[in-house]
Amino acid sequence: MLEKAVGIIGGVGPLSTVYFMDMIIKMTDAKKDQDHINMVVLNHATIPDRTDFILGKSLESPLPVMVSDAIKLQNAGADFIVMPCNTAHYFFNKIKESVSIPMLNIVEETVEYAIKKIKNLNTIGILATDGTLVSSTYQRVCDKKGIKCVAPNKEQQKCVMNLIYNQVKAGKSADIMTFYEIMQDLLDQGCQAVILGCTELSVIKKDFKLDLPYIVDSLEVLARKTILTCNKQIRE
């Protein structure tokens, strides 16, 4: 069998990219080096901030850089591309159009996984950056499936952004109690599950070894799909 290679547009953020690679390796059912999947990675940390551009706080678009990276990954031999960043999926279609190889969509894959995981899913909470929420990437996919999306209120969303930018991206330990409180409030509003729609939040889940049945981790979903796309098996 011809081995597939995944191309990863990384650096968005850098720690999430490393965690994503680690997740792929640990989740792959492998008994030796050669059983693992091939990865071509651009951990491009200097890509302009996605949320700042979406919100109009910056005029520096990350799109040209991500398009360039996608082309580099294709030229380097990647068979398909992934972006371990939910906010960057605001630009997904234009990046996908720039290459001739397939791209996996973390938002679509995560919603599909949530539907399979949660029986009779009709309401789901979304924890994500302001950029992801404003661009309605999850809301649009959920609307097509008849699923209601619930986001944190204004004050809680400030706390979510603080967790992402001032704690995880800054290399600091996350305020886990605030994280729990925000998730619990979404559950109290009738959410059957909570999507970690920012890969920095996936880092919190990993760091604190959270194993809660109502969490749907977008980074883990993408890692799982990446492994399967490479014709490998998941280590259960």
Nearest to 82 by CA among 169, 2, 12: 12
Q: Are 228 and 206 in contact (CB under 8 A)?
A: no
Active-site residue among 142, 149, 191, 198? 198
Matching residue, tokens 């030229």: 75
- Is 198 among the catalytic positions? yes
Q: Enter the tokens of residue 65.
A: 């850089």
| 159 is annotated as an active-site residue | no
Annotate the chain with three-state secondary structure. Answer: CCCCEEEEEECCCHHHHHHHHHHHHHHECCCCHHHCCEEEEEECCCCCCHHHHHCCCCCCCCHHHHHHHHHHHHHCCCCEEECCCCHHHHHHHHHHHCCCCCECCHHHHHHHHHHHHCCCCCEEEEECCHHHHHCCHHHHHHHHCCCEEECCCHHHHHHHHHHHHHHHCCCCCCCHHHHHHHHHHHHHCCCCEEEECCHHHHHHHHHCCCCCCCEEEHHHHHHHHHHHHCCCCECC
Which residue is catalytic, options 85, 142, 191, 230? 85
- The residues assigned a catalytic role are 85, 198
